[in-house]
Amino acid sequence: MVALLMLTVPLAVSSDAGAWDVYLIKVVLDSDSDWTSVVFLSGVRIVNVRHAVVKGEVRGLGVAWDEVWFGMNRCCYPDRVINATVEFEVLITNVPVDSAISMSVMKGDVGKTHVLIYNRLGTLIKEVVNRGVVPGSGGRNPMNFSVPSTKVVEPGRVHVLGQGRFSRIVWAAYYPWYTKGSWNDPHMADRPLIGEYSSDDPSTIRTHVRLARAAGIDGFAVSWWGPNTYTDRNLRKVLDIAGEEGLHVAAYLESLAGDGNPRPLPEIESMLSHLITSYGGHPAYYKVDGKPLVFVWAAWSHDVEEWRSVFNNLRNRGIDAFYVATASNTKYLEVFDGLQNYGTGNVTELRRFYDRVGPLVKTHHVLYGGRERLWVPSISPGYDERLLPGRKGLYYDRDEGRYYLATYDRAAASFPDWIWITSFNEWWENTHIEPSKRYGYRYMFLTEQLTSQFKGRTSDPGALLELILELERRVETVTITQTLLKTVTQQLTHTLTIDRTTTIHTVEVKSATLTVEREVMRSEALLFVALPLLITTIALAAYVLKTRVRHG
């Protein structure tokens, strides 16, 4: 008999984005200055903008916007003055309910700017004309004014960020491309803790599926390279086993060939046809709006109209899917049902990217029509390609798990529908969370905490601990079992103390039977296991007491 530590651990991570009401205003800018902009001064945030040129030359006209301003300028055109009228549909949030919205219209030193502001019902709520030059303003020439917030809010909100139509799900990129020979590659920096496996081994697939489930992962996005490939044969196995274990599966279509070049469109169309008709009806294959879900890697490898042609050709044959593009340009939402991000990179840049793109995706239907689109930002434990020939040597340090938590914080604040983990087992790029010789179980425990946070439930690694000990029932000696328990305890303890405010509500110690193949647990053998476990229990109890005192 050995003791199994069962801990209920709520992780105190940064709060999710919450729910933000979104309102629509329509602004008409008419200007003969060389540049002009409208700026919000009162904390209002712009989340999306659509514009149309209704008068004037389009050539050389630049239109842009950011979080607190939108505007236009003229470049490389006679006299460099705008001489145009542009209508803007502006989606804003963080609107004060019972006070004025402070704004400013700015322009260059020449000409004037005429501003008309309407609410979403078309009622004119403000008219401003800026003709002046303001000395000492650095050429910005601001003219400040205010708009009654009630006139903006009264017609009602057009969307609520953070309250979408999709249930919260966590996906992990899964790569079924390994053979026994893969692990001989000297460019691979780490190795699986379960041993050097082959991806076509059913027991390996089952272990992966069960680990994912215990860590709160809902589905595997399975890398798929087309019909009659190794990954094609393994996709069927993953589907069958995942169906038995209660895990969702969707294909991750590899739109680039092995040499990194875009696949021809006829090949992509043929691949999608085979994928949807062969696997889309499987009970474990995940469906959205009744259609099989297909993630498309590197959607940017073809332009929007090319994808439109492929999808239309398939639909004309009665073949359809719910397509999610790996892309950063929201233009792809014209033909895709959602956007997904893969790499995480620099976390500061990631924050800027997610802060802008998340709301863009979630409000796309308000400005452009159609159904609400899906937003799937990624999180990752790190990245390291320094050993890979021909790569640039990019490296993002795991920092003992802090990078993983930082990418989650950025993703969770971007109004995500789902979360994507890069990755479960991409070993060459070192983005794996699968238990490894270098990192042990650390990223399994962290994943369980983050998935629980995302789904709004209390973290409980008990199922994960039970699974790990169950998997290790194959061990041959008490010494190995003792080492396992020490490793698990170290990973748990490190996870609990990783630069976060953590509260442990309960610590239970209960018994479980561990079968050792070579011998029955004799009393002296039990001592070797029980003694270090007793020490571990005392240490964790002391840690709990210390935590309670610190946060009490």
Structure tokens at 251: 């294909």
3-state secondary structure of 103: strand
Indicate if 372 and 306 belong to the same structural domain: yes
**Is residue 10 in a domain?**
no
Indicate if 132 and 224 belong to the same structural domain: no
**Is residue 2 in a domain?**
no
In the prediction, which pLDDT does 552 show?
39
pLDDT tens digits, one per residue of 236-263: 999 999 999 999 999 999 999 999 999 9
Structure tokens at 31: 């200007």
Nearest-angstrom CA–CA distance, 170 and 218: 5
- How much is the average pLDDT of 512-531? 34
**Is residue 280 in a domain?**
yes
Q: Is the pLDDT of residue 79 over 60?
A: yes
Q: Name which residue leads in pLDDT, 105 or 468.
A: 105
**Is residue 7 in a domain?**
no
- How much is the average pLDDT of 28-53? 97
Indicate if 97 and 57 belong to the same structural domain: yes
Q: How far is CA 215 from CA 10, 37, 99, 272, 359, in A?
A: 14, 49, 46, 31, 28
In the prediction, which pLDDT does 13 show?
31
What percentage of residues in the chain have a pLDDT greater than 70?
A: 82
Indicate if 341 and 459 belong to the same structural domain: yes
DSSP 283: T
In the prediction, which pLDDT does 477 show?
38
**Is residue 12 in a domain?**
no
Q: Where residue 278 sits, what CATH number does that domain have?
A: 3.20.20.80
**Is residue 469 in a domain?**
no
Residue 252 CA, chain-centre distance (Å), reads: 15
Indicate if 437 and 489 belong to the same structural domain: no
Burial of 293 (0-12, 13-18, 19+ CB in 10 A): buried
Last residue of a domain, one of 161, 186, 209: 161
Q: Is the pLDDT of residue 534 over 50?
A: no
Q: Name which residue leads in pLDDT, 290 or 538.
A: 290
**Is residue 78 in a domain?**
yes
Q: Give the pLDDT band (50/70/90) at residue 202.
A: very high
Nearest-angstrom CA–CA distance, 201 and 549: 49
pTM: 0.86
Indicate if 289 and 311 belong to the same structural domain: yes
- Beta strand extents in 321-433 (DSSP E only): 322-326, 338-340, 374-376, 378-379, 383-384, 395-396, 418-421
Q: Is the pLDDT of residue 72 over 50?
A: yes
Indicate if 198 and 134 belong to the same structural domain: no
Q: How far is CA 138 from CA 149, 166, 403, in A?
A: 30, 47, 41
- 8 A C-beta contact, residue 159 and residue 366: yes
- How much is the average pLDDT of 264-277? 98
- 8 A C-beta contact, residue 191 and residue 435: no
Last residue of a domain, one of 463, 484, 518: 463
In the prediction, which pLDDT does 486 show?
54
pLDDT tens digits, one per residue of 320-374: 999 999 999 999 999 999 999 999 999 999 999 999 999 999 999 999 999 999 9
Nearest-angstrom CA–CA distance, 214 and 208: 10
Give one DSSP letter per residue of 302-339, joined into a string: S-HHHHHHHHHHHHHTT---EEEEE-S-GGGGGT-SEE
Indicate if 212 and 345 belong to the same structural domain: yes
In the prediction, which pLDDT does 487 show?
58
Indicate if 242 and 297 belong to the same structural domain: yes
- How much is the average pLDDT of 200-209? 98
| Pair type for strands 291-297 and 338-340 | unpaired
Q: Is the pLDDT of residue 499 over 70?
A: no
Q: Is the pLDDT of residue 472 over 90?
A: no
If one counts the domains in the chain, the total is 3
Q: How far is CA 353 from CA 341, 358, 407, 517, in A?
A: 10, 8, 12, 52
- How much is the average pLDDT of 14-32? 85
Indicate if 426 and 291 belong to the same structural domain: yes
Range of the domain at 541: 475-551
Indicate if 116 and 250 belong to the same structural domain: no
- 8 A C-beta contact, residue 87 and residue 52: yes
In the prediction, which pLDDT does 517 show?
30
In the prediction, which pLDDT does 502 show?
34
Backbone angles phi, psi at 437, to 5 degrees: -65, -30
Q: Is the pLDDT of residue 180 over 50?
A: yes
Q: Is the pLDDT of residue 308 over 50?
A: yes
Indicate if 238 and 266 belong to the same structural domain: yes
In the prediction, which pLDDT does 75 show?
81
Q: Give the pLDDT band (50/70/90) at residue 97.
A: confident
Last residue of a domain, one of 104, 130, 161: 161
Q: Mean pLDDT across the chain, nearest whole number?
A: 86
**Is residue 238 in a domain?**
yes
In the prediction, which pLDDT does 494 show?
54
